[in-house]
Amino acid sequence: MKVFHDIYDNLITPENLLIAWKEFKKGKIKKKDVLEFERNLEDNIFRLYDELKNKTYRHRPYQTFHIYDPKYRIINKATVRDRLVHHLIFNQLYPIFNPTFIYHSYASRLDKGTHLGVQNLTKALRKVSKNYTESAYALKCDVQKFFHSVSHQKLLQIIENKIKDNHFLWLMHEIIESFKAMPAELIERERERERERTRLRHSYWKPNLPNIR
C-alpha cells in the first residue's frame, strides 16, 4: 500500500488556494456569500493561508436550514471560507483514494456521473433479464443518516493509514470534528416544527381559494 508523506506545506500554498477557489466558485458566482468573499479575494486568500500555515485555522459553525427534494432534509452549510478549504482537501484526497473505490460508484467522480451510471445499469438489466425476457430485481437501500452516524474516529483512521503527515491530519481532524450531528430527538422535533409550519401555510391559503377568478 502506497503511503503519502509531507504533503501539507505544498498543499496550502496561496497558489493552490487560488486554484481551489476557481474550481469551487463554478456555478456559484452569483451567490451572495461567494461574491462577498471574492470582493476581497486576495486578502481572504492570504489570511486563510496564514491561518493554515500557523495552524490557527478553526472551522466556523454551520448554517442549518430545511429543504424538500422531495423528502424532508436538514442541510448544514459551511461558510465559503471553510468550503474553500474542503475543496482544497478534496483535490489532495481524491487522487489518493479514488483508485480504491468500487467501479460502480458514480457520484462526484471524474469520468463517471449519472449518464454512465444509467448506461451501465441498462447493460446490467439487459444481461440479467436475458434481453428483457425475464424478470430482474434490484435492491434499493440507503444508510440512514450516514453523515450523522459515521464514526469520525474510523474515518480519521482510514486517512491516517494512507497519509503520514501530522499537519495534514490536524487539518482533517479540525474539519471532520467540526460537524456535530444533531441528536435524533432534536431532528424529529425540527421535522415536526416544519410540518406544523407547512400545515399553517396551507390553512392560511385555503380560505382564499373561493376568491380565485
Answer yes or no: are the C-beta atoms of 197 and 210 closer than 8 Å.
no
The pTM score is 0.78
pLDDT of residue 68: 78
Q: For residue 5, what is the enclosing H or E element?
A: strand 4-5
pLDDT of residue 188: 58
Instruction: List per-block mean pLDDT (blocks of 10 residues) for the chain, which spans 213 residues.
Output: 93 97 94 96 98 97 82 84 96 93 91 94 94 92 78 92 96 90 55 57 45 43
Bridge-based pairing state of the strands 4-5 and 163-164:
parallel
pLDDT of residue 122: 94
Bridge-based pairing state of the strands 4-5 and 63-68:
unpaired
Question: Would you tell me how many other CB atoms lie within 10 Å of the CB of residue 8?
Answer: 19
pLDDT of residue 125: 93
**Closest C-alpha to 22, from 7, 44, 43, 38:** 38
Strands (E), 55-203: 63-68, 72-77, 163-164
Angle at 127 between CA 125 and CA 132, to 5 degrees: 65
